[in-house]
Amino acid sequence: MSQSFQRIAVIDIGKTNAKVVLVDGMTGTELAVRKTANAVIPGPPYPHFDVEALWAFLLASLREFAAGPGFDALSITTHGASAALLDDEGSLAMPVLDYEHLYPDATSQAYGKLRPHFSETFSPALTGGLNVGAQLHYQKTTFPDQFDKVATILTYPQYWAYRLTGVVANERTSLGCHTDLWHPFEGRYSTLVDTLGIRERMAPLRSAFDALGPIKPEVADTIGLKIPVPVYCGLHDSNASLLPHLVGFGSPCTVVSTGTWVICFGVGAKPQRLDLSRDTLVNVDANGQAVPSARFMGGREWDLLTRDMAVVPIEEELIAATAVIDAGSMILPSVVKGTGPFPNSHVRWIDEPGSVSERLAAASLYEALMTQTCLDLIEAKGPIIVEGPFAANQLYLRALHTLTKRPVHASAATTGTAIGAALLTGITLDVKMRSISNALEGLEDYARLWRSRAGEN
């Protein structure tokens, strides 16, 4: 049953940046956005997110929105690979660990012997704390006294819901994003929760669509709210990006969610040929359904490849792309080693160009080729929807259309995660799209050469 909220505040915490977005409940228009860096404190006891700085930013942004146009519902989305550990008084028993922190080899090897097989969780073994189970094992074995004080374990979006409402919950999209803790095809916890001895500490499961409660009075007073505002349970950010297109396109379709990570969702795809060594996995959508997926750290790689380069007009970039394709100039994977479909390969240039426009063009082609590789790995089908920053990269979109020979649609929403999170409140929205129909000449031969070289790299 649809709701009729006028304005929805969305907390959107990504790995790199955190935002609070005010979404129009009738049109989905992003009325206002406030943004800050998501800082990591180096320690002790380990690198962790500065949750108190984030909390101060969230309260200040919500206070500003409440004093202005106002909002009558709130929803939440965050990056995955994080858990919050509460003590019996409801405070953090241990800091929220940064998932990029690397553990001692002995710790990682010990965890490798504990974790369930890919055939149970469809969660690949990833570096650092990208598997939340690895984080919990590290925290439990390295800091046993602090871990003994843990009374409740929350998935990360629901930690912020708890700060706002006082209600503890866990939710399936965050449990189902390569945590090792979830069995996606049976919709239950994996055997790892008992291996780690944490079943009784896991917060109750709630639907992403549940209103957990109103913002509690003391927080509402701080924000300056005049009316009770329901807080919705929330979900993992890539699944927030997926949700509008589950509604709009149905199955089969392919959603390419871009940000720090580029995550490819094969809605309606089959999991039989997933390759656990190439960062393929099964995610769980907001409805609790398993979705074969593949990913690489595309946004981080783009930043590394194009740092300090000014954007050039699309006409100039297209000319540069022709020169890059003709010369066979290319970037071979992987810019961020240890992730994506080529985890054991390290970046190198072939015939590296000198001009900024050609280097930018080569970077866009690299991102499109990596995306196509991910789509092939999960045998994704149907129209392709690109959302997030790469939806504005015209060369990337044309290259993806050329490589896949499938319809490509770019979401006009600048914050797809916020739109998806807003949909949890029961509103109905029509996300605007633009279709890509232009092809790039010579790209197929270039792609064959890239794939051959990437395999040899």
The tens place of each residue's pLDDT in the chain, 457 residues long, gives 456 899 999 999 999 899 999 999 998 888 999 999 999 999 899 999 999 999 999 999 999 999 999 999 999 999 999 999 999 999 999 999 999 999 999 999 999 999 999 999 999 898 899 999 999 999 999 999 999 999 999 999 999 999 999 999 999 999 999 999 999 989 999 999 999 999 999 999 999 999 999 999 999 999 999 999 999 999 999 899 889 888 888 889 999 989 889 999 999 888 777 898 899 999 999 999 899 999 999 999 999 999 999 989 999 999 999 999 999 999 999 999 888 999 999 999 999 999 999 999 999 999 999 999 999 999 999 999 998 899 999 999 999 999 999 999 998 776 678 999 999 999 988 778 999 999 999 999 999 999 999 985 4
Same domain, 188 and 315: no
Domain CATH for 90: 3.30.420.40
Residue 2 inside a domain? The answer is: no
CA–CA gap between residue 380 and residue 392 (Å, rounded): 22
Residue 319 inside a domain? The answer is: yes
Regarding beta strands 182-183 and 152-155, do their DSSP bridges make them parallel or antiparallel, or are they unpaired?
Answer: unpaired
Residue 448 inside a domain? The answer is: yes
DSSP 82-135: -EEEE-TTSSEEE--B-TTPPPPHHHHHHHHHHSPPHHHH-----STTSSHHHH
Q: What is the pTM of this model?
A: 0.84
Do 232 and 73 touch, CB atoms closer than 8 A? yes
Last residue of a domain, one of 185, 205, 233: 233
In the chain, the amino acid numbered 343 is: P
Last residue of a domain, one of 233, 264, 296: 233
CA–CA gap between residue 120 and residue 345 (Å, rounded): 28
CA–CA gap between residue 23 and residue 27 (Å, rounded): 8
Residue 1 inside a domain? The answer is: no
Same domain, 265 and 226: no
Same domain, 205 and 81: yes
CA–chain centroid gap for 99, Å, is 13
Read off φ and ψ for residue 273, nearest 5 degrees. Answer: -110, 20
Residue 238 inside a domain? The answer is: no
Do 153 and 95 touch, CB atoms closer than 8 A? no
Domain containing 347 equals 243-456
